[in-house]
């Protein structure tokens, strides 16, 4: 608590909340932005919370959305607190100056977790460092898994995305009372949070709710509706119920989570498989978001910052020994990757030629990473030159085999690398100067729209955050990009078909 100050009280559009002073800034946790999405509201669009009288305590994180735990292999690297309760559509605010009048820039954080896990309570996402540096930080919870992204004939799609829009509307209406400027909002996310950010860029209902966007390790995309339906149908088959929202709403919540984890255990970014995702629904998401952004139909005037890590795939393959299994499969794995990426043989040959000493797992991992993340971001930057900034996080973890893997950069973005949860991925001795540079770039982008290096142009500048001072590389992905561009006439796997699996069940 600041000397001589009591706990801060701020009035939102739904009622007053009392926060805490911590680390020299004010923090408000567990503030509801929508009503609990259960009972008659289950599988339905979010509704405003009931207003309350008096002052609501906002000293602790609110309930997290229902989710299964990570497997033991992933849990050693990723923290994912679970807080029970129905009132899971809540958010947290860190601010240096609670009260109207400050008009500070705002960063709204969307967590990752494959749309099935994660929450705003993950310790790495502590927003006090942004508030310390003059940016109001907001982190939100949203519905996950079948509750947020199940596709049913009797319920609207994309409930989790609708939650995110409701949270942004709350920010528009209430953030000034916390010292934030509703006209200077940056939406940022990593992995599934970045995919969600891409969808928000294309969602008509989200237009005007933010001015800038950061996509870290996730590109705009819409999932195949049949893929999501298969996930729901597999769950329904195991539960012995119809594949409807009405039947799922009557099922035991714990059993739903167990079955969801069972049917999704073979799904991963590298291997594919059934899974939940955002879908084009003709309503909240009327078009594929990447197509809308490439055509210039979405988010005009919104500044973009986009980035990836050098070895994204290592978090997907190292836990559980998949890296070694894919290496052993060799040519079979490469054929599976070609099917997974819907690319021609020349693309695979080009990747092998560029990495003559690499094993199958590295080639497969980089191929799938480029297909899912880097190439779509490259195309998006090409479509929005002058207002796009691109970077790569290249510092390798101090832990064995992880390299510069997926999610490693988060401890540096939030400058939380000295905490035990960030050390799960980084190990001991993460460089503070790198955190200063990475976090500082995000702060500058939220403040001004310029993170501190050249915007995208014909030279394709990419800011590299790795060992030593950050530097700008020009066209580091151009060789791979040229392979994909030259592949436009190669045979494609039709949408809805299943590529051959890379590993046996």
Question: In the annotation, is 312 catalytic?
Answer: yes
146 — phi, psi (to 5°)?
-65, -30
Element housing 447 (H / E): helix 432-448
Instruction: Return phi, psi of residue 325, to 5°.
Output: -65, -40
Angle at alpha carbon of residue 442, lines to 104 and 114, rounded to 5°: 110
Catalytic residue list contains 460: no
Q: How far apart are CA 29 and CA 355, in angstroms?
A: 47
**Which residues are CB-neighbours of 215 under 8 A, at least 6 positions away?**
189, 194, 197, 198, 304, 305, 306, 307, 377
Contact 9, 177 (CB under 8 A): no
Which three-class secondary structure string do you get for 393-445?
A: ECCCCCCCCCCCECCCCHHHHCCCCCCHHHHHHHCCCCCHHHHHHHHHHHHHH
The DSSP call for residue 204 is G
Angle (CA) 17-21-22 rounded to 5° is 130
461-465/471-474 β-pairing: antiparallel
Q: Select from 389, 246, 231 the least CA-distant residue to 305.
A: 389
- The CA angle 252-257-262, to the nearest 5 degrees, is 125
Whether 128 sits among the annotated catalytic residues: the reply is no
For residues 313 and 315, give the distance between their C-alpha atoms in angstroms, rounded to a whole number. Answer: 6
Residue found by looking up tokens 């934030």 in the block: 180
- How is residue 224 written in tokens? 């195949």
Contacts of 501 (CB under 8 A, 6+ apart): 266, 271, 272, 273, 336
Q: How far apart are CA 66 and CA 434, in angstroms?
A: 35
Which residue of the set 119, 120, 139, 191 is catalytic? 191
How many separate helices (H) and strands (E) can be counted in the chain?
19, 14
DSSP secondary structure letters along 43-98: TS---PPPP-SSEEE--S--PPPP-PPPPHHHHTT--------S---EEEEEESS-
Task: Identify the active-site residue in 111, 378, 406, 439.
Answer: 406
- DSSP single-letter state for residue 174: H
| Rounded Cα gap, residues 138 and 52, in angstroms | 21
Q: Hey, is 35 helix, strand or coil?
A: coil
Catalytic residue among 312, 392, 409, 447: 312
Indicate which residues carry an active-site annotation: 191, 312, 406
């Amino acid at each position: 608590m600041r000397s001589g100050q009591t706990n801060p009280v701020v009035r939102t559009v739904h009622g007053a909340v009392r926060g805490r002073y911590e680390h020299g800034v004010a923090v408000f946790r567990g503030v509801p932005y929508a009503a609990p999405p259960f009972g008659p509201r289950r599988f339905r669009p979010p509704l405003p919370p009931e207003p309350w009288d008096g002052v609501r305590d906002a000293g602790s994180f609110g309930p997290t959305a229902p989710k299964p735990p990570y497997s033991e292999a992933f849990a050693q690297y990723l923290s994912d607190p679970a807080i029970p309760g129905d009132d899971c559509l809540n958010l947290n605010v860190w601010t240096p100056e609670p009260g109207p009048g400050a008009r500070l820039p705002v960063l709204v954080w969307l967590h990752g977790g494959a749309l099935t896990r994660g929450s705003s309570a993950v310790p790495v996402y502590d927003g006090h460092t942004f508030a310390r540096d003059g940016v109001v930080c907001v982190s939100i919870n949203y519905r996950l898994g079948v509750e947020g992204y199940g596709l049913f004939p009797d319920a609207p799609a994309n409930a989790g995305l609708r939650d995110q829009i409701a949270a942004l509307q709350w920010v528009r209406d209430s953030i000034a009372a916390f010292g934030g400027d509703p006209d200077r909002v940056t939406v940022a996310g990593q992995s599934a949070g970045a995919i969600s950010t891409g969808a928000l860029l294309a969602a008509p209902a989200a237009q005007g709710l933010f001015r800038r966007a950061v996509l870290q390790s996730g590109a705009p995309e819409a999932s195949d509706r049949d893929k999501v339906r298969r996930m729901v149908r597999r769950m329904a088959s195991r539960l012995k119920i119809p594949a409807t929202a009405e039947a799922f709403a009557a099922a035991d919540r714990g059993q739903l989570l167990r079955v969801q984890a069972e049917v999704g255990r073979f799904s991963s970014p590298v291997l594919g498989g059934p899974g939940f995702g955002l879908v084009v629904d003709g309503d909240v998401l009327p078009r594929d978001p990447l197509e809308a952004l490439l055509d210039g139909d979405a988010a005009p005037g919104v500044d973009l910052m986009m980035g990836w890590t050098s070895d994204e795939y290592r978090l997907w393959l190292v836990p559980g020994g998949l890296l070694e299994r894919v290496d052993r499969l060799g040519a079979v794995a490469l054929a599976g990757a070609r099917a997974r990426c819907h690319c021609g043989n020349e693309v695979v040959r080009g990747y092998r030629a560029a990495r003559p000493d690499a094993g199958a797992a590295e080639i497969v991992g980089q191929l799938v990473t480029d297909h899912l993340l880097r190439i779509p971001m490259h195309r998006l930057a090409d479509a929005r030159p002058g207002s796009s900034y691109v970077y790569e996080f290249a510092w390798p973890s101090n832990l064995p085999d992880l390299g510069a893997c997926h999610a490693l950069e988060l401890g540096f973005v939030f400058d939380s690398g000295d905490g035990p949860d960030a050390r799960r991925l980084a190990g001991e001795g993460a460089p503070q100067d790198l955190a200063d540079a990475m976090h500082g770039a995000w702060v500058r982008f939220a403040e001004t729209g310029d993170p501190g290096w050249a915007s995208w142009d014909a030279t394709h500048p990419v800011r590299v955050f790795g060992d030593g001072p950050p530097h700008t590389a020009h066209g580091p992905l151009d060789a791979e990009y040229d392979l994909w561009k030259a592949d436009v006439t190669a045979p494609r796997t039709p949408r809805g078909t299943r590529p051959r699996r890379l590993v046996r069940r």
